[in-house]
Amino acid sequence: MAFSPTDVFRTVTLLAVGALVVVVLVFWVGGKGVLDRIGSITPGYLLLALCLEVCFMLLGSLRLSMIVRAQGKKVPREIVAINFSGAFFNNITPVSKTAGEPVRAYLLGRANGTTFEEGMASVIVDRIFDMAPFVLICLVTFATIAIFHVASSLLMLVLILLGLVGAALISAIIVAASLQKETGLRLVLFLIGRLEPLIKRFRPVDDVRSRTLEALEGFYQGTKSISKHRKLLVANVLISLLLWLTVILRLKIVFLSLGSSVPLIIVNVVAVASTFAGFAPLLPGGLGATEATMIALFLGFGVPRDVSGLAVFVDRIVSFWFVTVIGAAASVRLSFKLKDMD
């Protein structure tokens, strides 16, 4: 994984700009109250939030390892480091959850002694399991909001419901396309086109395109094999649901660390919305767009300005910056290990 000094400088600059945007946004919204509340953060709750984020990464590594094993490949000892490295590259690129997938595929292939394309097939299956429960979560959230009328205004209720329906539809389309061979092949070719600048760093794009199509034949056979193992299928879906549960609980605990209790349904809505906000192609990891979306929704639900601003700020330190730092360390370690292997 060779990156030029220009790439490093551009990444560091974008991250610095993103961090500055977030700080200005938080203090602009929360005002002096943010500073007053910083000293009141409960360390125990903050530590618990960090532990939940670690659990999130470990559960993701477990799900990926089960998929790799189900496809008849060896699970590398570095699976956790590979997952953290993928998260790091996702966080330093303008469109969330794009750059990290080819990196995870590359590292899986190198660690297993297999091809980049075979690693990519495993990563695509992992992404399917990530999206499938999201449809269920969106629909449950939709039903809960409609029944209990938690929104403070009719306009906000309509916007939230439309957003949840849209999120569920997009997720369902991606999952369905990935499971249907012809549609899935078109989807993968589209993704390869979008990721062409990054893929060039590993292999010639035309070579990757042709070999990925070959590997996907085995991928669809592997998907059929996984679908026949109901215990494995149920286990992966349960892990995916637990992953979303840790996200919701982490944000809830961040509010508790500030001495504020926000209903879980509101936390759930904001967590779902922030996931899609992170795809905004502006700054790395959705910096700025994610925080603005979360703060706006919390304010719309009646959460005080200072609490909303500081809670989002703390949650992003835990979920974004903490993972980015650990992921950077994991990437450096893996790069040295790959050089030793060479």
Dist. CA 280–CA 332, nearest whole Å? 27
Average pLDDT in the chain:
76
Dist. CA 307–CA 299, nearest whole Å? 9
**Segment 270-279, tens digit of pLDDT:** 887 777 666 6
The owner of tokens 């790799």 is: 68
Between the CA of residue 298 and those of 18, 125, 209, 266, what are the distances in Å?
Answer: 21, 34, 43, 8
**Segment 127-185, tens digit of pLDDT:** 777 776 766 776 677 666 666 665 555 555 566 666 666 666 665 666 565 556 666 66
- CB of 82 closer than 8 Å to CB of 107: yes
Cβ burial of 117 (10 Å; 0-12, 13-18, 19+) is buried
pLDDT of residue 96: 56
pLDDT winner (highest mean) among 165-169, 217-221, 251-255, 279-283: 251-255
- CB of 116 closer than 8 Å to CB of 105: yes
Write down the pTM of the prediction.
Answer: 0.78
